[in-house]
Chains A and B, each alone.
Chain A
Amino acid sequence: MSAASLKQFQEQQAILQRQYAARALKDADQMEMLLDNFEQGQPHVLVELRHLAHRLAGGSGVFGLGQLTQPALDLEHSIDNCEEETQIRAKTTALADHIRQAAMNKS
């Protein structure tokens, strides 16, 4: 691997990490909005909420946000297991907080 191609690769990975972190912040807002909709009697929004959690659980580790993997998994499993609304709320809020904390640490 030449030094130039390694540098290019590292630069690209840094860009992807920044993009991922920025999107995760938006995901946090989106998750809270979906949670509100869920609590207002729209159960189908759980599909989207679960999808966001699943995406974070799968990808956060490789983009340097490994601290989000477990809370994202917790939320994903909570929805899969049809847990109580209060549990889903607690785990969504916890994940959103973790995302914001991680973003703050990065900046």
Chain B
Amino acid sequence: MTNTDGTRVAIVDDDPIFAEHISSLLRQHAGMNAVTASNGSQLFKRLDETDVECIVLDYELQGETGLSLGHAIRNKFENPPPIVMLTGAGSERTAAKAFRMGFADYVPKRNLHAEELVWAIKTAITSQREEIAAHSETERLRAQQRVDSLTGLASASFVTARLHELAANHNGEGFSLLAITMRQLDEYRIEFGHKIGEKIFRDFASRISNANLHGGYLGHLDAHKLVCVIEHVCDDMLLKEIERELRIAGTANIDVNGIVTSLAPAFGRAHFMLHGGTVEETISHALDAAQQDEATPQQIDDMPNAGARQPETHRPENDRRGDGAQDHQGEDRRGSQRRVEQRFRVLKRGKITVNGLHSTIDCLVRNISQSGVRIQVDGYFAPPVRFQLEIVGDGRRRWVEKRWQTGNDIGLQYVEEEA
């Protein structure tokens, strides 16, 4: 009998012979198609090329741990495939850590039985499918709600249903729309992960919900697009005034993992029957206009009635110590510059050395720039202000100073090497 299961699996093991062995076992025993990767960057490349249903991840990879890589996978993808951890270490502690991290299962390498691994993979995939189905049902029920759970604004289903009602009422006054998009959000999601992207979006929605909408209301239109609805065809000047209010409320410098960056929404106006004969056409016109606004963003100073308020600024701790001489122009320049020097995303193993050479803690180096690095530690750990860091494979140990810490993420700056 030829097995033709066809399940697509990614195997991550830094031992190519072992990875090939697992691949061969899965093919022979269950008809699964496996791709192999020896480290995190290879895995992400494979995941970009192939849609896999499960990842079999070795616990101990050279230069990184399976736990850290699992964390990175779950951060990068909105719906990551389930992960089965494969390990030679085999301790209960490791197993507990794996489950705590949300891994689907744990299979020891020693005395490995193909059937056990196949069962773990199939169970993980089935469980995830069931979870997705349950989630879809929850989403379907949520769609019937008026309030969007992510932003707290009117839900997309409510907004579109309401617009169709207004459009269908021939004796009514139609509607006017202001589409709101965030030009940098996709970039942030790629750079910092899905969770941080969602948080930025949620915070943004929260900020603009305080603006004066002159009788309109805000709704979540689609993905990262919001809309302000006026339930009558209003004067374009009123829509411009609402846009100005929202632009002020929504434009801000935010601190993302220690990097200060500017956040500026884009806007597009549309009036029913003037820019579209249907709800869909009117929304589409507003979104197209927002896209044009993204390409040629307006300054708040260019808007009518400008000058009354300045955009909110969320500064990092260091900037709060400013001497007050920093003007608005200075803020904008810093915001548009976004980053002083280029950072490179990496996935390398690092070693923190404190108290001379007596204490060493493993960490994961996530990005590197000329002046510092960002590291991640497995559990919460508060390092001293100054310590030594070795990037495995780099061949030397450097003195660093802690600049910031958010949970397990720590930003470090290189300091002058000591003799």
Answer yes or no: do A and B interact. Answer: yes
Interface residues of A (CB under 8 A from B): 1-2, 5-6, 9, 12-13, 16, 19-20, 23, 43-44, 47, 51, 54-55, 57-59, 61-63, 69
Given known A-B contacts A20-B17, A23-B17, A62 and B24 have beta carbons under 8 A apart: no
- Contact yes or no, B88 A62, CB < 8 A: no
15 sample A-B contacts, Cβ–Cβ < 8 Å, listed by A number = A2-B1, A13-B24, A16-B17, A43-B357, A47-B392, A51-B60, A57-B88, A58-B87, A58-B109, A58-B110, A59-B15, A59-B88, A61-B110, A63-B17, A63-B21
- How far apart are A16's CB and chain B's nearest CB, in angstroms? 5
- Contact yes or no, B3 A9, CB < 8 A: no
Interface residues of B (CB under 8 A from A): 1-3, 15, 17-18, 20-21, 24, 27-28, 60, 62, 87-89, 109-112, 357, 390, 392
Chain A residues positioned under 8 Å from B21 (CB to CB)? 13, 16, 59, 62-63
Contact of A54 among B1, B17, B28, B88 (CB under 8 A): B88
Can you name the residue of chain A whose Cβ is closest to the Cβ of B397? Answer: A44
Contacts beyond the supplied A1-B1, A43-B357: 17 A-B pairs with Cβ under 8 Å: A1-B28, A2-B1, A5-B28, A9-B28, A16-B21, A51-B60, A55-B15, A55-B18, A55-B88, A57-B110, A59-B15, A61-B111, A61-B112, A62-B21, A62-B112, A63-B17, A69-B110
- Expressed in whole angstroms, the Cα–Cα distance for A51 and B94 within the complex equals 17
Can you name the residue of chain B whose Cβ is closest to the Cβ of A60? Answer: B110
Can you name the residue of chain B whose Cβ is closest to the Cβ of A23? Answer: B17
- Expressed in whole angstroms, the Cα–Cα distance for A58 and B392 within the complex equals 22
Chain A residues positioned under 8 Å from B88 (CB to CB)? 54-55, 57-59
Chain A residues positioned under 8 Å from B17 (CB to CB)? 16, 19-20, 23, 59, 63
- Contact yes or no, A2 B2, CB < 8 A: yes
Can you name the residue of chain B whose Cβ is closest to the Cβ of A55? Answer: B15
Chain A residues positioned under 8 Å from B87 (CB to CB)? 58
- Expressed in whole angstroms, the Cα–Cα distance for A56 and B61 within the complex equals 13
Chain B residues positioned under 8 Å from A54 (CB to CB)? 60, 88-89
- Expressed in whole angstroms, the Cα–Cα distance for A18 and B110 within the complex equals 19
- How far apart are A12's CB and chain B's nearest CB, in angstroms? 5
